[in-house]
Amino acid sequence: MQIKYWAATDVGRKRADNEDNFLIDENLNLFIVADGMGGHASGEVASAIAVHTIREVVHRERSLFDSFDPDNPEDQMEVSTLLEYAVHEACSRVFHKAQLEPEKRGMGTTVVALLLIGDHGFIAYVGDSRIYLLREGTIYPLTEDHSLMNELIRSGKLQKDEIATSPYARFKNAMTRAVGVYENVEVDVLDFEIAANDSFLLCSDGLYEYLDEGDIATNLSFTDTDEIPGRLIDIANTRGGKDNITAVVIQAVGEGGRAGLPLHSSTADIVRRVPVFRRLSFQQLTNLRTRCQLRDFNDGEVLAREGDDNGELAILLEGNARLTRRGRTLKMLAPGDYYGELDLLESSKRQVGVTATTAGRLLFLTRETIHGLIEHDPRLAVKLLWGIHHELSEKVVAALDNRNSIAAPRQVTSPLHSRAKKSAVRSTPPLKRAITAIDNVFDDDDDDVLEVDDADLVES
């Protein structure tokens, strides 16, 4: 794929100074936007330190990219860790700069960084600047604002259209995380596969406050890459321009993506079609993908043995397999099919066996991963558990309907009807355990209450 890019920044119509900064390193395929804050030119200093520090750290470790294997999870983790460390280093430098110059104390900046290596993308971000992906006409936010407003909306305490009239209106620009305000900061990272003709927008809030996702999708679909940033900035200025405005546009042009496969064969798209994951956003899917394990398999290999201990859901990304029970073929599996959702919640032996009929690749989600999500990302865990619960509910209902249709002509006391009732009873415990797992997440009332300390907020 050919990578095309262009960037522009503007002071806007209300501000005297531009505290935004961006950086592009075409040799590294590294793209960064930072929106500084602090006043008295401090914001501009903070954002400049951040973008140059991130570039310096990534450039120093660029040898990692020469040996990068997109199929190796350890390589993916290493690059993600590098990008995360680069932001941490930027945070430390901004903070210590402010300690040495008292007039700059409290300065900070947002950061969004995109690193492209072959057909793989890596993102690190802090604050409320954003990265959008346009893929086959659909726009996907790849970042989530670290802001008070977003936390209130996510927790259900506030709707978007209620912000202006709510008691929190004065905190409209307050952020819950920023680079450099404190010596350390939590950094969110994400990695994903790039598909042919993907387009990306990195921008500060001065842009997206005036453009909805439809506006962004329309402009990113144009092929004149060098005109898009300026066009987006003009729209933002025309509609108010009360803040600094920065836009960096990147387009992956031509054939590409994983092994030259079309978009519908990409891991993200296959996973998105799995019913268990249908309620997840693109960002949550990519986050979940980084926690899963990949494994290649050979023709004839036993992928799951009936009666074994296990605790994983497996999604077939490539190749074909046969699903069996007691020696009888239940289904032929193709890319996008999955098995083992019950094993995520049920500790008993595997109920089915799976044998590969061609070479291919599996994506695994383990029970341990679910436990980790419940602790570290409960919102994602709840949506995932709810998806599993919904699928199991549908399967139980379908099974009962099928049993009842068979048993209907017989008397209630018939052996077949008795077996159907016993089967239904045996099917219930796993479903109850799924519901209980979800209820346990929701029942922790403390996690549902958003407590905000003014001292923890950063005004942008």
Within-domain flag for 427: no
Backbone φ and ψ of 99, nearest 5°: -70, -30
Q: Are 242 and 206 in contact (CB under 8 A)?
A: yes
Token reading at 193: 């596969």
Of 219, 381, 378, 355, whose CA–CA distance to 299 is shortest?
355
**pLDDT value at position 409?**
53
Tell me the torsion sign for CA atoms 249, 250, 254, 256: negative
Within-domain flag for 458: no
How far, in Å, CA of 382 to CA of 374, rounded?
8
Of 46, 47, 57, 40, whose CA–CA distance to 21 is shortest?
47
Question: Which residues, other chains included, contact 459 with Cβ-Cβ below 8 Å and sequence gap of 6+?
Answer: 37, 173, 174, 175
pTM score, whole prediction: 0.73
pLDDT at 93 over 80: yes
Judge if 306 and 236 occupy the same domain.
no
Last residue of a domain, one of 366, 396, 418: 366
**pLDDT value at position 243?**
95
Domain count along the chain: 2
Within-domain flag for 391: no
Mean pLDDT, residues 134-156: 87
Judge if 24 and 94 occupy the same domain.
yes
The domain that holds 299 is classified in CATH as: 2.60.120.10
Judge if 214 and 66 occupy the same domain.
yes
Over the stretch 287-344, which tens digit does the pLDDT of each residue have? Answer: 777 778 888 999 999 998 888 877 788 888 889 999 998 889 999 999 888 888 777 7
Last residue of a domain, one of 334, 366, 398: 366
- Highest mean pLDDT: which of 65-79, 227-241, 370-384, 416-430? 227-241
How far, in Å, CA of 314 to CA of 287, rounded?
17
Last residue of a domain, one of 331, 346, 366: 366
Judge if 236 and 117 occupy the same domain.
yes
**pLDDT value at position 345?**
67
Judge if 255 and 302 occupy the same domain.
no
Mean pLDDT, residues 74-80: 89
Higher pLDDT, 278 or 198: 198
Edge-to-edge order in the sheet of strand 338-339: 293-297, 360-366, 312-318, 338-339
Name the residue range of residue 340's domain: 294-366
Within-domain flag for 268: no
Judge if 85 and 188 occupy the same domain.
yes
Three-class secondary structure of residue 395 per DSSP: helix
Judge if 299 and 162 occupy the same domain.
no
119-123, 131-135, 428-432: range with lowest mean pLDDT: 428-432
Mean pLDDT, residues 139-154: 88
Judge if 319 and 174 occupy the same domain.
no
Over the Cα atoms of the chain, what is R_g?
Answer: 25
β-pairing, 353-356 vs 328-333, is unpaired
Strands (E) in 319-391, as ranges, are: 321-325, 328-333, 338-339, 353-356, 360-366
Within-domain flag for 378: no
Over the stretch 228-286, which tens digit does the pLDDT of each residue have? Answer: 999 999 999 999 999 999 999 999 987 654 433 333 345 666 777 777 787 787 778 87
Within-domain flag for 439: no
Judge if 58 and 176 occupy the same domain.
yes
Judge if 92 and 224 occupy the same domain.
yes
pLDDT at 188 over 60: yes
Backbone φ and ψ of 429, nearest 5°: -55, -45
Within-domain flag for 408: no
Within-domain flag for 257: yes
Distance, C-alpha 359 to centroid of its chain: 29
The domain that holds 175 is classified in CATH as: 3.60.40.10
Judge if 213 and 300 occupy the same domain.
no
DSSP letter for each residue of 66-133: HT--TT-HHHHHHHHHHHHHHHHHHHHHHHHHHHHSGGGTT-EE-EEEEEEETTEEEEEEESS-EEEE
Over the stretch 63-75, which tens digit does the pLDDT of each residue have? Answer: 999 999 887 878 8
pLDDT at 142 over 80: yes
Residue 40's pLDDT band (cuts 50, 70, 90): low
How far, in Å, CA of 177 to CA of 123, rounded?
16
Judge if 319 and 216 occupy the same domain.
no
